[in-house]
Structure 1
Amino acid sequence: MKKEIFIGMFVGLIANSIGLIIAATLLGNGDDFTNVIKAASEEGFLGKLISLGAILNLIAFFIFIKKRQDYRARGVLLITVFIAVFTFVFKLF
């Protein structure tokens, strides 16, 4: 059971990372990924960019639910909640 939740958390982190890269590439107007992240941090919308990256977690979550892999879906959900809390705390500071 714990292994399945860990796999779901790992998939959630990978999906969020890929989503962040895609969002930065699409919204970056052709700039380098690191430049987009730096600019987003300086302009105060890095949290929004990270939240956009979490959209891929939704896809992973529903794939696990459809395959009846509930514990993996729970791991993806845990990472998504963690990212939401991280984004909220990051926005405060």
Structure 2
Amino acid sequence: MNKIDLLSGFLLGIISAAIGSYIFIVIFTDFTFISGIQILKSQGNIGKIITLGAIPTLLLFGILLKLNREMMARGVVLAVIALAILSIFL
């Protein structure tokens, strides 16, 4: 059960970061999502978009801790660490 909670927290963290990236690109740029990803990748700013997109995971982490779902919260932290490593290489 603990591994399933950890995995579901990890997936929730990745999904919330993807949704945050989508919202950031659509609201704060003049591009559509796909063209925005391509243009920002060509400019070398995709790591910054991933980092800004990870902000909603803070809210998710707080909610999971409030609901006493510590293993899922650990999965969210693991997702943030994975996104940080990913943004270093992109």
TM-score (norm 1): 0.91
SS of structure 2 residue aligned to 1:68: coil
**Which residue is 1:36 aligned to?**
36
Backbone CA RMSD of aligned residues: 0.8
Moved over 2 A (4+): none
Report the TM-score when normalising by structure 2: 0.94
Deviation sequence 1:26-79 (CA, Å, 0-9, x none): 2222x2111111110111111101111100111111100111110000000000
Q: Gaps (5+ residues) in structure 1?
A: none
Which letter maps to 2:78? L
Q: Determine the C-alpha separation between the residues in 1 that align with 2:18 and 2:36.
A: 14
The letter for the 2-side match of 1:46 is I
2-side partners of 1:65 and 1:32: how far apart? 34
Unaligned runs of 5+ in 2: none
Amino acid at match of 2:28: L
Return the letter of the residue paired with 2:26.
T
Please state if 1:13 is matched with 2:7.
no
- The AA in structure 1 aligned to 2:18 is S
Counterpart mapping for 1:74-89 below 5 A: 74-89=74-89
